[in-house]
Structure 1
Amino acid sequence: MSFSLADARFRLVRALGLFRRGLASLRMRGLRATWQRVGAQFGVFAPRARQTLLAADLSAFAPFDVPCHDAPAVSIVVPVYGHLPQTLACLRAIAAHPPRASLEIIVVDDASPDDSAATLARIGGLRLHTMPANAGFIGACNAGAALARGGHLLFLNNDTVPQPGWLDAMLATFARAPDVGIVGAQLVYPDGRLQEAGTMLVRDGRGENRGRFADPLHPQLRYCADVDYVSGAALMLPRALFERLGGFDSRYAPAYYEDADLALRVRDAGLRVLVQPEACVVHLEGVSAGTDLSQGMKAAQARNQPVFAARWAQVLAQRPADPVAAGQLPRAGVPQVLIIDSVTPMPDRDSASLRLVNLMRLLREAGMHVVFLPADRRHLGAATQALQAIGVEVWYAPYAKSAAQWLRTHGGRFSRVMLCRHYIAHEFLPLVRRHAPQAQVIFDTIDLHYLRELRGAEVSGDPALRRAAERTRAQELDVVRRCDMTLVVSPSEVALLARDAPQARVALLSNLHEIAGPGRPFAQRHDLVFVGGFRHPPNVDAVKWFVGAIFPAIRARLPQVRFHCIGDHVDDAIAALARVDGVIIHGHVPDITPYMDGCRIAVAPLRFGAGVKGKVNLSMAHGQPVVATTCAAEGMQLHDGHDVLLADQADAFADAVVRLYEDETLWARLAEHGLDNVRQHFSLDAARRTVQAVFVDGADDRAQP
């Protein structure tokens, strides 16, 4: 399709929107903070995706040690028949970059014709088992599994070079969902080309390797995907499940189709089979078994195909006859949803990101295929990889050369398109209507920006901010009217839109949090904590007000209490607050849990804002009571003295903090009721009904495969 007026309009509107937001940011945040936002928007400081492979170490043998734990989480089983240099290279790779998880390595020497057994016996920490006679791949794997002590088994070919982080990525995949039965790694050739990202079955029983010889970083091959089976070259599953299913089936001895058969038995048990591309393993295909289908062990591949096809005839009858069609994911009929936001979410940085990532998780649980396109089209390193690891298809440059071109190509896939934030929706809505006319368009406000800006202008008394807020109001309400559905995060915003946009369809989808639990008891907790990024003007105002007007009164009565301030993008004005006795400016911390579980009280002294405050939810989800302003507790079904303490004046806020800090009975009551509030209103369980109604119900098959 040629370049259109809609495409030209999108580029013009986007450029003008970025310019206006830059000017507004200059007024609110200053030059330095604005430059940081511009850099983030255009990815100036963002890491780029890269693929640097660990090469096989084929040097002469010298004794070395491999990881070995008495109570391993994972047992790696490596069947060996000769090819000692490759076996050593495999073990050296694991030893050089040991996983974080506890493990043991069991090498099963299958009566090797060379001196493998004698040499391997000199490796420290290795559990070596020698077979009295050659039993083939299946026999060796089953023998190794019988010796395993780990909760999970990981079958690994000896002609592989596992890349750093591979095992931990596979193990983490099981932790994310209880219905996962098998996880496989992404296999690549030594030259970096993709060997396979899982395998799909053709109707005659053959396997179609996903992405063979393709770019392993391509977005359509880089996300954790449900597949028919994964190669036994790097396959992990719970040991109890393997034992319950009877191990690899000996009818396929010596090898081939045992991995596909095991995967279908796992699927028969109601469990999923996933390929996890975050686990990368270089596979020297053909080293151990050759490539000639007419002779040697490889001949068993052709011999076992009809055996496998006959056993699974009913399942295979549902698979495509064409190999190309068989290898495509998602399968035809799976509803797909596209989500567009300004940048890739970083859930450890802000509550909006956490809400969006948890929404994607709920959509995946509901059976939808989720595609995410950041408006800046940047690969954000770990943040992008984290989405891909949970099964989200994330697009970025150079694979998405432009938003307009990408939507022209992919728009027909989607039954739903969700646009986050009013300025993103304003820019993208015409393109989506043109290139995805079949899709229902959902506007996710994150929070009503115009409400927050109007309140900020009122606090500051700045007429320019008031005019900017009115412009935001007009644009945001225009987007609400033009979209099929609008999501807001609080009942008060539902009521506001009922007045300001009465014809709009509006649904409540609030913050989404996992329940961490009560954490430490009262006596083991100390100090106060505030959490919030300082790109957000309400947080800047809140901390300045707290330190300047509230904290001195608290310290006068509680002289040992410290105030921990956590949040990224600390500017000079916030950093200077650390000169006040008892104030600690931490900036961003990778793991916030110690502060949630260790600080006695969280404070939320926001004087303006909108939406639901993730900082309040986060603390309550950890059993940490909160002292907040009325604005900070808005729309959260909280009641003063029951699950929160509320105060809007500086002296009253200080009194509430001191009272709660010293009263264990009050503290315990608020902690318990705060947890209940999050469970009832802000947990993933609480949101499932809305997610089903907005995204899943009525999603038809009008979208193209």
Structure 2
Amino acid sequence: MSSTRPTRVLIIGYVWPEPRSSAAGGHMMQIIESFLQCGWQITFSSPAGVGEHKADLAALGIDEVTIELNNSSFDGFIRELAPDIVLFDRFMMEEQFGWRVEKHCPNALRVLETSDLQSLRDARQQQLKARLKHTPDQDDFSSLFAPARGETFEQMAGTDLAQREIAAIYRSDLNLMISEYEIELLTEQFQVPKALLHWCPLMVDSVPETFVPYDQRQHFLSIGNFRHAPNWDSVLWMKTSIWPLIRQQLPGAQLHVYGAYTPPKATALHNPAQGFHVLNWAEDALAVMSNARICLAPLRFGAGIKGKIADAMLCGTPNVTTPVGAEGMHGDLPWAGAIEQSAGAIAARAVELYQNPQAWHQAQQHGRTLLTERYLQATHGPALVQRIEACRAHLEQHRRNNFTGAMLRHHQHKSTQYMSQWIEAKNRTV
């Protein structure tokens, strides 16, 4: 799209990106890199506080601006910036700032980075809680992993979170979806038009030609931000059910559990005598992953696709996970390890891969193939930019075709606007 100045992008972040702490932070930086490669001018803004592992955006030539919720100072900021594209990081930012963007920059393309479907993750978490309450058996969760998309829709559709999230998807011009499963759920069950969705998975620059050899590796590894509820649940399941079974078969086995923002409840699980080591944040996650022999990712609920598993494949480390962990990641290609549904099966496959070099190398090769076929930045970065430019070139028609979104913006933005203005007025009187 021809222009006398570089394309201006405003990103409104739910948090400041921390690519070494979470997959969401890593994915945001991959999107940013795709924009920078086009010469686009980026401003990153957020109402959140700065975390200790924040990416150095200024070093990339990105302007950083702190914004406030429910404050009209944002109006002057965005009018002066006059962005061509506004990217909302997760639906809550679209709820908060979408009406202000539309009011002051109506011609800016509004893009929502969903990260993952939070309403799907929440519905699955509620399922797990109900399952554990009524059947506290910690081992076999095959029934939990089995529901068809229609059943998942029934569990989600009546929730406030799903209605808010999918309304934000309709209100946006384009939505970046990290998981093909979630695209199918939205289009087939929620009837969201495909024209509003774009598959944008995790991306890797390249796939290493060589990995740390099998016989130079040791130990099991689990990694993930402890603030992310599925990660904490998986650590508990490992501690209580899976790890004891592995230690029965491999008495000298060691599990290293890494995670950003480790809370006291996690460090309390540290028990060297059991080979269970809680080691806080990994300064170099890829280094520790490359030296581990097996990555354990026994996720009982969640959504999106899993950065820890992509990292494992990038390091040539076979993983053992659940159907939730593998969801949306491998299409019709073989898995880079094992997918199991019970503590016993997860432990058995983990031990088998740990001890069997032939099976281990085959899983490693499957990971290399998956990354090459599905996750290269050279494929997905240009495809993302091309899709954005196509929407910009036909924005008026694109919006006209999305009448439901226009209707939702008309009604929801009015109520959000009035609530925000009421909060701002209230704050001034305090």
Give the Cα separation in 1 of the matches to 2:33 and 2:89.
17
Partner of residue 395, structure 1: 65
Query: Which residue number corresponds to residue 20 of structure 2?
Result: 348
Is 1:566 paired with 2:237? no
Shift of 1:394: 1.5
Paired with 2:39 and 2:362, the residues of 1 have a C-alpha distance of 39
Count of residue pairs the alignment pairs up = 365
Of 316, 339, 351, the match for 1:646: 339
Q: Answer whether contact 1:339 1:420 (CA < 8 A) is retained.
A: yes
Kindly indicate whether the alpha-carbon contact (under 8 Å) linking 1:490 and 1:508 is maintained by their aligned counterparts in 2.
yes
Deviations 1:520-559 (A, max 9, x none): 1000000111111111111111111112111111111112
Please state if 1:454 is matched with 2:144: no
Q: State the secondary structure of the residue aligned to 1:372.
A: strand
Q: Are 2:198 and 1:507 aligned?
A: yes
5+ long unaligned stretches in structure 1: 1-330
1:435 aligns with 2:126: no
- Paired with 1:451 and 1:414, the residues of 2 have a C-alpha distance of 32
What's 2:224 paired with?
532
Aligned to 1:366: 38
One-letter code aligned to 1:484: D
Q: CA deviation at 1:410?
A: 3.0
- Measure the CA separation in 2 of the matches of 1:546 and 1:593: 22
- How many Å apart are 1:449 and its aligned residue? 0.4
CA distance in 2, matches of 1:469, 1:632: 25
Q: Name the counterpart of 1:247.
A: none
| Aligned equivalent of 1:606, options 287, 299, 302 | 299
Which SS does the other structure have where 2:201 is aligned?
coil
AA in 1 matched with 2:61: G
How far residue 423 of structure 1 moved from its aligned partner, in angstroms, is 1.4
Do the aligned residues in 2 keep the contact of 1:530 with 1:566 (CA within 8 Å)? yes
Pair 379,559 (structure 1): closer, same or farther in 2 beyond 3 Å: closer
Letter in 1 for 2:101: V
Task: Say whether the 8 Å CA contact 1:355–1:513 is kept in structure 2.
Answer: no
CA distance in structure 1 between the aligned counterparts of 2:78 and 2:97, rounded to whole angstroms: 14
Structure 2: how far apart are the matches of 1:381 and 1:593? 19
Amino acid at match of 1:406: F
* Cα deviation code 1:441-479 (max 9, x no counterpart): 11111000000000000000199xx89981110100111
Measure, in 2, the Cα distance between the counterparts of 1:481 and 1:382.
33
SS in 2 for 1:417: strand
Deviation, structure 1 residue 645: 0.8
Q: Distance in 1 between matches of 2:126 and 2:51?
A: 33
2:334 and 2:251 map into 1 onto residues whose CA distance is 25
- State the shift of 1:332 in Å: 4.2
> Which position in structure 1 is the counterpart of 2:54?
383
> SS where residue 632 of structure 1 aligns?
helix
Checking the alignment, whether the CA contact within 8 Å between 2:69 and 2:96 is kept in structure 1 is no
Distance 2:109 2:57 in 1: 23
Residue in 2 aligned with 1:405?
A: 73
- Superposed, 1:618-633 pairs within 5 Å as 618-633=311-326
Report which of the two has the higher share of strand.
Answer: 1
What is the CA–CA distance in structure 2 between the aligned matches of 1:642 and 1:480, rounded to whole Å? 31
**Deviation digits for residues 163-222 of structure 1 (CA, Å, limit 9, x no counterpart):** xxxxxxxxxxxxxxxxxxxxxxxxxxxxxxxxxxxxxxxxxxxxxxxxxxxxxxxxxxxx
Aligned residue for 1:570, secondary structure, equals coil
Counting helix residues as a fraction of each chain, which structure ranks higher?
A: 2
1:656 aligns with 2:349: yes
Please tell me whether Structure 1 or Structure 2 has the larger radius of gyration of its CA atoms: 1
CA deviation map 1:293-325 (0-9, x unaligned): xxxxxxxxxxxxxxxxxxxxxxxxxxxxxxxxx
Structure 1 Cα separation of the partners of residues 158 and 237 of structure 2: 23
The residue type equivalent to 1:473 in the other structure is A
TM alignment of 1:408-427, pairs within 5 A:
408-411=76-79, 413-427=82-96
Report if aligned partners of 1:453, 1:469 keep a CA contact under 8 Å in 2.
Answer: no
Aligned pairs (5 A) from 1:193-592: 332-376=4-48, 378=49, 383=54, 386-396=56-66, 404-411=72-79, 413-461=82-130, 470-498=159-187, 499-503=189-193, 505-515=196-206, 517=208, 518-579=210-271, 581-592=274-285
Kept in 2, the 8 Å contact 1:338–1:371? The answer is: yes
Contact 1:513 1:618 in 2 (8 A): no
Q: Check 1:458–1:451 CA distance in 2 against 1; reply closer, same or farther (3 A cut).
A: same
Alignment-mate amino acid for residue 204 of structure 2: H
Q: Which amino acid counterpart does residue 192 of structure 2 have in structure 1?
A: P
Higher relative contact order (CA 8 A, sep 6+): 2
Q: 1:366 to 1:672 in 2, by over 3 A?
A: same
Determine the C-alpha separation between the residues in 2 that align with 1:379 and 1:602. Answer: 30
> 3-state DSSP class of the match of 1:453?
helix
CA contact (8 A) 2:207 2:372 kept: no
Cα distance in 1, alignment partners of residues 110 and 233 from structure 2: 35
In the alignment, which residue of structure 1 is the partner of 2:415? none
Matched position secondary structure for 1:587: coil
The TM-score with structure 1 as length reference comes to: 0.49
SS of 2:159's equivalent?
helix
Query: In the superposition, relative to structure 1, how do residues 404 and 665 fare at CA in structure 2: closer, same or farther (>3 Å)?
Result: farther
Q: Structure 2: how far apart are the matches of 1:583 and 1:604?
A: 15
Q: Aligned partners of 1:404, 1:362: CA distance in 2, in Å? A: 31
Partners of 1:604 and 1:627 within 8 A in 2: yes
Mean CA deviation greater in 430-439 or 687-696: 687-696
Query: Is contact 1:363-1:691 (8 Å) kept?
Result: no
Give yes or no for contact 1:570–1:587 (8 Å, CA) kept in 2: yes
CA positional deviation for 1:373: 0.6
Q: Distance in 2 between matches of 1:640 and 1:332?
A: 45
Distance 1:547 1:421, change over 3 A: same
Distance 1:418 1:534 in 2: 26
Q: Once the two structures are aligned, what percentage of the paired residues are identical? A: 25
Matching residue within 367, 382, 385 for 1:674:
367
TM-score by length of 2: 0.79
Closer, same or farther in 2 for the Cα pair 1:515/1:485, shift >3 Å? same
Aligned positions of 1:78-97 closer than 5 A: none
- Cα pair distance change 1:395/1:442, threshold 3 Å: same
Q: 1:666 to 1:638 in 2, by over 3 A?
A: farther
In 2, the alpha carbon distance for the partners of 1:382 and 1:655 equals 36
Cα distance in 2 for partners of 1:651, 1:592 equals 28
In structure 2, runs of 5+ residues without a counterpart are 134-154, 396-430
